[in-house]
């Protein structure tokens, strides 16, 4: 869909054209559901997130200024809804602010399918941070603001996530190549 | 947003993450709500209480920080705590002792045990204790990791802080 088509679709959605709203939903549903599912790790909860998120999208679409992409705008709404859905996470554990993720490296045994599977098995806190930083591309500062934590906590949770992913990979027999 | 990835293999795996698809009837729920058939009244109600609880928590946390900072600096944290615990059977704040103390204090009807502030702290304590267990499991799984140890230490300290606050409330 090009920009002009997207603008037309948005106008129709604002006019509460149900068909247009359905089209917009169909266009973004998989990407948004994937994000919601990896944040919540709960299939049913992800549907609640989708419902809450898309209702908000349709009610606020006239506020979309078009400065970024529509997909990014919708994703921000979905991410916030997903975070609210998993509220109760206590992300206060904070350690020194240092660059830690460089210590954990993966090899080419890590495929998308395998990563998806392993991610869903991670503890809530570090899974959410990993998803937001590594998959969605948010900065630690943004994640800290979204989750109400410090950047140090965000970094430490990302480190835990990578350590655990690495461990899970090794436990499955995907041994990291030893140097030499 | 930033994309400063250092690990190529990880970046590649992320690029090829599979998509998940919502259930076929997911749109129906959205449509129903758009048509006004379902209204999230309950959510709005909960939202208001969440704000109130958050404010209460911030206020109580500020009070504790102020109390700690304004106290005599040469008193060791453990001593300060045991002083606060007063009638507790031992000087330490071992879990069992704390739980016994709390159970005894709250066994009869005591207004303080019903306070939202008390309940919020108890919820927070449960979560932090779960976190301590969680990190301990991570340490057990991943082996020695200084960051995990430091994080556990922080969580342990947080547990003590919450217990201290609870004891203060119980002792009025």
The larger pLDDT score, comparing residue B98 to residue B28, is at: B28
Contacts of A50 (CB under 8 A, 6+ apart): A29, A32, A33, A36, A78, B22, B26, B30
Q: Is residue B53 part of a domain?
A: no
Q: Does B145 touch chain A (CB under 8 A)?
A: yes
Q: How many CB atoms lie within 10 A of CB A4?
A: 8
The larger pLDDT score, comparing residue A105 to residue B78, is at: A105
Shared-domain flag, residues A114 and A139: yes
The helix/strand/coil state of A82 is helix
* Selection from B78, B72, B102 nearest residue B88 by Cα: B102
Characterize B79-88 residue by residue with b for buried, 16 or more Cβ atoms within 10 angstroms of its Cβ, and e for exposed. eebeebbeeb
Q: Is residue A176 part of a domain?
A: no
| pLDDT class of A102 with cuts at 50, 70, 90 | very low
A5 pLDDT more than 50 = yes
- Decide: B105 and B170 in contact? Cβ < 8 Å: yes
Q: At what angle do helices B146-170 and B77-85 cross, to 10 degrees?
A: 30
Q: Does B134 touch chain A (CB under 8 A)?
A: yes
Mean per-residue pLDDT of chain B: 73
Q: How far, rounded to the nearest angstrom, does the alpha carbon of residue B124 sit from its chain's CA centroid? A: 4
Count CA within 13 A, CB hemisphere, residue B54.
9
CA distance A150 to A145: 8
| pLDDT class of A27 with cuts at 50, 70, 90 | very high
Total tally of structural domains belonging to chain A:
2
Residue A13 sits in which domain range? 3-85
pLDDT of A147? 85
Containing B136, the helix (H) or strand (E) segment is helix B116-142
- ipTM passes above 0.95: no
CA distance A79 to A146: 9
* Residue percentage of chain A with pLDDT more than 90: 48
* Residue percentage of chain B with pLDDT more than 70: 67
Q: Global pTM? A: 0.57
Q: How many CB atoms lie within 10 A of CB B19?
A: 11
Q: Which residue matches tokens 């959510």? A: B43
* Selection from B125, B133, B132, B130 nearest residue B163 by Cα: B125
CB pair distance less than 8 Å for B10 and A108:
no
Q: Is residue B124 part of a domain?
A: yes
Q: Is residue B95 part of a domain?
A: yes
| pLDDT class of B67 with cuts at 50, 70, 90 | confident
Shared-domain flag, residues A38 and A111: no
pLDDT of B19? 93
Among A38, A54, A85, the domain boundary falls at A85
> Region B94-103: what's the mean pLDDT?
76
* Residue percentage of chain B with pLDDT more than 90: 10
Q: Is residue A47 part of a domain?
A: yes
Shared-domain flag, residues A129 and A81: no
A112 chain-B contacts, CB cut-off 8 A: 13-18
Q: Does A154 touch chain B (CB under 8 A)?
A: no
Residue B122 sits in which domain range? 74-170
> Region A48-57: what's the mean pLDDT?
95
| pLDDT class of B73 with cuts at 50, 70, 90 | very low
Residue from B7, B22, B33, B120 to probe the interface with A (highest A Cβ count within 10 Å): B22
- Per-residue model confidence as pLDDT tens digits over A105-145: 777 778 899 999 999 988 888 899 999 999 999 999 999 88
Tell me which chain B residue has its CA closest to the CA of residue A160: B148
pLDDT of B146? 67
The larger pLDDT score, comparing residue B63 to residue B45, is at: B63
pLDDT of B46? 54
- Considering only the C-alpha atoms of chain A, give the largest distance between any 2 of them, rounded to a whole number of Å: 65
CB pair distance less than 8 Å for B33 and A107:
no
Shared-domain flag, residues A79 and A114: no
- Per-residue model confidence as pLDDT tens digits over B100-145: 888 888 877 778 888 888 888 888 888 788 777 777 777 776 666 6
Among A53, A85, A117, the domain boundary falls at A85
Q: Is residue B60 part of a domain?
A: no
Q: Is residue B136 part of a domain?
A: yes
Mean per-residue pLDDT of chain A: 84
Shared-domain flag, residues A10 and A73: yes
- Decide: A83 and A39 in contact? Cβ < 8 Å: yes
Q: Is residue A179 part of a domain?
A: no
pLDDT of B111? 81
Among A85, A117, A143, the domain boundary falls at A85
pLDDT of A35? 96
Domain holding A50: CATH number? 1.10.1740.10
pLDDT of A49? 95
Q: Does A172 touch chain B (CB under 8 A)?
A: no
Shared-domain flag, residues A112 and A73: no
């Amino acid at each position: 869909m090009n920009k002009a088509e997207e603008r037309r679709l948005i106008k129709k959605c604002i006019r509460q054209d149900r068909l247009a709203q359905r089209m917009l939903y169909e266009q973004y549903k998989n990407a948004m559901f994937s994000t919601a599912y990896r944040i919540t790790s709960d299939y049913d909860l992800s549907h609640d997130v989708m419902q809450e998120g898309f209702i908000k999208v349709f009610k606020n679409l006239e506020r979309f200024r078009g400065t970024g992409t529509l997909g990014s705008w919708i994703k921000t709404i979905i991410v916030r809804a997903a975070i609210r859905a998993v509220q109760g996470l206590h992300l206060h554990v904070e350690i020194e602010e240092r660059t830690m993720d460089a210590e954990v490296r993966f090899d080419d045994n890590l495929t998308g399918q395998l990563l998806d599977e392993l991610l869903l098995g991670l503890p809530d806190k570090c899974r959410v941070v990993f998803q937001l930083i590594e998959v969605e591309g948010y900065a630690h500062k943004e994640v800290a603001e979204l989750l109400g934590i410090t950047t140090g906590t965000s970094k430490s949770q990302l480190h835990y996530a990578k350590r655990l992913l690495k461990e899970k990979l090794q436990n499955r027999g995907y041994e990291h190549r030893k140097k030499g | 947003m930033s994309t400063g990835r250092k690990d190529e293999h990880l970046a590649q795996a992320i690029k090829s993450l599979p998509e998940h698809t919502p259930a076929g009837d997911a749109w129906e729920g959205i449509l129903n709500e758009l048509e006004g058939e379902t209204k999230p009244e309950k959510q709005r109600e909960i939202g208001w209480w969440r704000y109130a609880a958050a404010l209460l928590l911030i206020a109580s946390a500020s009070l504790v920080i102020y109390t700690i900072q304004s106290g005599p600096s040469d008193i060791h944290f453990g001593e300060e705590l045991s002083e606060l615990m007063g009638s507790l059977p031992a000087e330490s704040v071992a879990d069992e002792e704390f739980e016994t103390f709390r159970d005894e204090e709250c066994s009869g009807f005591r207004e303080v045990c019903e306070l939202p502030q008390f309940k919020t702290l108890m919820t927070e304590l449960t979560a932090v204790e779960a976190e301590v267990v969680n990190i301990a499991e991570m340490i057990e799984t991943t082996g020695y990791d200084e960051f995990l140890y430091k994080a556990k230490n922080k969580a342990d300290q947080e547990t003590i802080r919450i217990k201290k606050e609870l004891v203060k409330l119980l002792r009025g």
